[in-house]
A and B are shown apart, each in its own frame.
Chain A
């Protein structure tokens, strides 16, 4: 597996960094309680940009009363301003064995995507945390912000090692137990959970964060170019499946994969989450850039 490692040099490649710097990520809403930053908050009040008026209610800050209106109309209304706050980015990166199987593993693209998103967030003064997960979730980097953290993120990502099997339920349970401020949870994975999509759905039920799914895919996922009689060994579970590849078997496989893809899309839609299918054989930043229209994507 050592040959499948992605080094710090790979992540901190100048071209890659330059491409990443062009990206900006915006979300429509961010949760209250964070640091002032470039993301719009749900909280209206102490910001700089006017947003709306509303009638005064006892307990409101007198400083927000629009005295000009009171003078002209005799009614007490509050002037509301939009607050700009930071957006915590929780990068949950799948490091199960399936992510690092074979040549050009999905894990490399996953780490690059995580680094790209983290870089964008840090440029926007957002906090970034890295939570690698497989059969459990770990804390590789606590929420931190500032441009200086970019190399720190790269180091953390480069130090990740594949292990275990994908277990979304356990991992998300652990994430929920961390008591994190609401933010954007970016799930970067192949979503190959042996328990199936149902388990992923169950796992995400308790997640309060907004979600962005980044699915690592390959062209031959849908049409595997396998031939003959094979004993397929699952790299995570070690489970062996004997199969004689016939057209009908292939068709059944393709139907099963299609159902999985459709199920994942429905899940994303039901959670109003974004879904980016990242082809591991194509440049990562380009695909993220195409996802973020003109470099900016509203979630």
Chain B
């Protein structure tokens, strides 16, 4: 049972009870300590000023009574937290944006909303959390404490809630009553929809500090260069802004300023930007969304530079031809190479990741791989097989031609490594003649060099298509999706199991149509101070006043 959120009637009854109790207490005789003195001669005048309170006699100290009643009433009000009459008959619908756009600011939004709820009648407010599905956080009449508990542990994710439908359904519950809809967060409402709302419905926005100054990033990613150059990529950003002017975006590549080649208006308030022919060398690309640069979107550009590979002399020609045909492979000395191709057991290339040829007599698996630590979990070997193109290899045919079982094996090791039978490269095996052979060689080399295909778009709340092993999140902690795809929960720099970085950005789900221009507030309305604190401070002040009067002898 709790008395918080008590109705005004309840508070009034409580004050009346206090007034009665205090009235009786004022009239009760004070218990005096007996003391024998030589004379009471001089006390007679003094005693006339300090008559003891007696139940049946005249009420002597009305001001003292009023003061103590005021103090106790304030304390009672602070405890009871009455519902204010302001806004009676008005319904409040709070739509708390739980989408990934709120990542990093969700807690502030909850705090703001809590302050707002505290001053509203509990019977008239409803709070719905809008993440991937709508979730009711607080029904009319429910205690505010429940709100806090229900918000705990929620992590913003992809937001797919239809805000307009929620507003419509809530309005239809009681079309005649006044309804105030408050969007808490960055989510937008369709402008056309807002125009259709009747006058009884007011829509406003409450957004925590640090918002993107009205700018929302709808899309942000990289792709092949429009110019056709293989060693270049283009970056595309789609942003929505309030107002008609194009936003001035400030982009940097590895800290160096990069100018947008083009920016054009795609729809009302939606602008597209493209940064063309950026060097595909794994650089860090960022677009600042706030003047200070604290709010940004970013990505790691693809690394399309040729792989420096050291090749041991005397390897089969068919393998050398496959390497030579790969445009992303460049022959290099072992000292400058990132990986090596060699015979099994030779010391060529030292500790570099190696693609080795071994004898079928000495090893069981035709295709054998070593991976780092926990990057390849149980059950993910299939993914590796697909990644390396082995799923297109005619396994049964190979086995028949080699007259032995062809298997794929993997085990953890200090570094990545790949080893195949030398016999697989013989002409009679038929492997080198298949389309799978150059694909396997090319992908194996890229896997050994830990060169991956950079995702086009890494958005908070959206699972990455290809990840394996634990990921280091921006806070520095390690998160292991345990077999599932990793989903970034916060924007910023991440690192995969091999230590390679990638950036996650806050992107708003794309909606059709223009966004309504809502009245936005970044502060709680009304009592920004906690009302209870104000009441308690007032009571404290009155208490101090009483003490002063008491010390001066103006009060019994």
Which residues of chain A have a CB within 8 Å of any CB of chain B? 98, 101-102, 106, 190, 192, 194, 196, 226, 228-237, 239-253, 255-257, 260
Residues of A within 8 A of B550 (CB): 246
B515-556 CB mask vs A (1 if < 8 Å, else 0) is 000000000000000000000000000000000001111111
Closest A residue to B36 by beta carbon equals A233
Q: In whole angstroms, what is the CA distance A101 to B36 when docked? A: 9
- B35 in contact (CB, < 8 A): yes
Query: Which chain B residues lie closer than 8 Å to A249 at the CB level?
Result: 46-47, 49-50, 553
Asked whether A241 lies within 8 Å of B40 as measured between CB atoms, the reply is yes
Q: In the complex, are the beta carbons of B38 and A190 less than 8 A apart?
A: yes
Is B427 located at the chain interface by the 8 A CB criterion?
no
B50 to chain A, nearest CB (A): 5
A197 to chain B, nearest CB (A): 10
Task: Please give me the residue from chain B that is nearest to A245 by CB atom.
Answer: B50
Residue of A nearest to B48 (CB): A252
List B residues 30-52 near A (Cβ within 8 Å): 30-52
Complex Cα distance, B37 from A141, in Å, reads 31
Most buried by B among A102, A190, A194, A246: A246
The listed residue (B35, B39, B52) touching A244 by CB distance below 8 A is B52
A residues near B52, Cβ cutoff 8 Å: 229, 242, 244
Whether A233 contacts B35 in the complex (CB less than 8 A), given A241-B40, A246-B50, comes out as yes
Which of A101, A231, A252, A256 contacts B33 (CB under 8 A)? Answer: A231
Output the residue of B44, B50, B552 with the most chain A CB within 10 A.
B50
Q: Which of A101, A226, A240, A247 contacts B38 (CB 8 A)?
A: A101
Interchain CA distance A248-B42 in the complex, whole Å = 14
Residues of B within 8 A of A239 (CB): 40
A interface, over-half SS: mixed
State the Cβ distance, A171 to closest chain B Cβ, in Å: 17
Q: Which residues of A contact B48 (CB under 8 A)?
A: 252
Q: How far does the alpha carbon of A240 sit from the alpha carbon of B43 in the complex, in Å? A: 11
How many angstroms from the CA of A102 to the CA of B35 in the assembled complex? 11
Query: Shortest distance in angstroms between B336's beta carbon and chain A's nearest beta carbon?
Result: 94
Report whether B41 and A196 are in contact in the complex, using a CB–CB cutoff of 8 Å.
yes
- A-B contact list, 12 entries, CB within 8 Å: A196-B41, A229-B33, A229-B52, A230-B32, A231-B34, A232-B43, A233-B35, A234-B37, A244-B556, A246-B50, A247-B551, A256-B45
Distance between Cα atoms of A141 and B307 in the complex (Å): 136
B49 surroundings in chain A (CB, below 8 A):
248-249, 252
* B551 with A250: CB separation less than 8 A: no
Query: Which of A101, A106, A233, A247 touches B552 (beta carbons < 8 Å)?
Result: A247
How far is B30's CA from A230's CA once the two chains are assembled, in angstroms? 9
Give the chain A neighbours of B35 by CB distance below 8 A: 226, 230-233
Question: Interface readout for B15-34 with A: 1 if CB under 8 Å, 0 if not?
Answer: 00000000000000011111
4 more A-B contacts (CB under 8 A) besides A243-B32, A255-B45? A190-B38, A231-B32, A249-B47, A253-B43
A228 to B48, CA, bound (A): 16
> Given A230-B33, A233-B35, does the pair A241, B553 have CB atoms closer than 8 Å?
no
B38 touches A253 (CB 8 A): no
Residue with the greatest number of chain A CB neighbours at <10 A, chosen from B30, B32, B38, B47: B38
Which residues of B are found within 8 Å of A234, using beta-carbon distances?
Answer: 37, 39-40
Residues of B within 8 A of A192 (CB): 38-39, 41
Lowest 8 CB-CB distances: which A-B pairs, in order?
A248-B553, A252-B46, A231-B32, A246-B553, A192-B39, A98-B38, A256-B42, A247-B553
Q: Give Cα distance in the complex from A146 to B31, angstroms.
A: 58
Are A260's CB and B43's CB within 8 A? Answer: no
The answer for the CA separation of A230 and B47 in the assembled complex, in Å, is 11
The answer to whether B31 touches A257, judged by C-beta atoms less than 8 angstroms apart, is no
Considering the chains assembled together, what is the distance between the CA atoms of A94 and B47 in angstroms?
27
Q: Which residues in A have their C-beta under 8 angstroms from that of B50? A: 243-246, 248-249
Give the docked Cα–Cα distance between A98 and B41 (Å): 12
CA distance A9 to B554 in the complex (A): 52
Give Cα A237–Cα B43 distance, bound, in whole angstroms.
Answer: 14
User: How many angstroms between the C-alpha atoms of A233 and B42 in the bound complex?
Assistant: 13
Determine which of A196, A231, A246, A250 lies in contact with B556 in the assembled complex, contact meaning CB atoms within 8 Å.
A246
For A226, list chain B residues within 8 Å (CB).
Answer: 35
Asked if A243 and B38 make an inter-chain contact with CB atoms under 8 angstroms apart, the answer reads no
Is A244 within 8 A of B44, CB to CB?
A: no
The residue that B40 contacts in the complex, of A102, A229, A232, A246, with Cβ under 8 A, is A232
A207 to B477, CA, bound (A): 106
Residues of chain A contacted by B552 (CB below 8 angstroms): 247-248
- Closest Cβ of chain B to A211, distance in Å, is 21
Q: Which residue of B lies closest to A238 (CB)?
A: B36
Q: In the complex, A245→B46 CA distance in Å? A: 9
Q: Do A248 and B32 touch across chains, with their CB atoms under 8 A apart?
A: no
The proximity string for B residues 309-335 relative to A, scoring 1 for CB distances below 8 Å and 0 otherwise, is 000000000000000000000000000
What chain B residues lie within 8 Å of A256 (beta carbons)? Answer: 41-46
Q: Nearest-CB distance from A273 to chain B (Å)?
A: 21
- List, in ascending order, chain B residues with CB within 8 A of A235's CB: 36-39
Given contacts A233-B36, A242-B47, A253 and B42 within 8 Å (CB-CB): yes
Chain A residues near B31: list those with CB within 8 A. 229
CB–CB A248/B554 < 8 A: yes
| Chain A residues whose CB sits within 8 angstroms of the CB of B555 once the complex forms | 246
In the bound complex, CA of A236 to CA of B184 (Å): 80
Chain A residues, Cβ within 8 Å of B46: 243, 249-250, 252-253, 256
**Chain B residues, Cβ within 8 Å of A190:** 38-39
By a CB distance below 8 angstroms, the chain B residues around A242 are 30, 32, 47, 51-52
Task: Report the minimum CB–CB distance from A111 to chain B (whole Å).
Answer: 17
- CB within 8 A of B37: which of A229, A233, A255? A233
**In this complex, what residue of B is CB-closest to A246?**
B553
| Residue contact B37 to A251, C-beta cutoff 8 Å | no
Shortest distance between the CB of B556 and any CB in chain A (Å): 6
* CB of A32, distance to nearest CB on chain B (Å): 40
CB distance from A51 to the nearest CB of B (A): 47
Q: Find chain B residues with CB under 8 A from A194 CB.
A: 39, 41
Contacts of B553 in A (CB 8 A): 246-251
Residue in contact with B32 in the complex, picked from A98, A229, A260, CB distance below 8 Å: A229
A252 partner residues in chain B, CB cutoff 8 A: 45-46, 48-49
A237 / chain B contacts, CB cutoff of 8 Å: 40
A248 to B553, CA, bound (A): 4
Query: Whole-angstrom distance between the alpha carbons of A196 and B42 in the complex?
Result: 10
Expressed in whole angstroms, the Cα–Cα distance for A239 and B43 within the complex equals 12
| In the complex, chain A residues whose CB is within 8 Å of the CB of B556 | 244, 246
Give B39's nearest chain A residue, CB to CB.
Answer: A192
Docked Cα-Cα span, A252 to B35, in Å, equals 19
Contacts of B32 in A (CB 8 A): 229-231, 242-244
Give Cα A243–Cα B492 distance, bound, in whole angstroms: 74
Closest beta carbon of chain A to B302's beta carbon, Å: 85
Contact with A along B354-390 (1 / 0, CB 8 A): 0000000000000000000000000000000000000
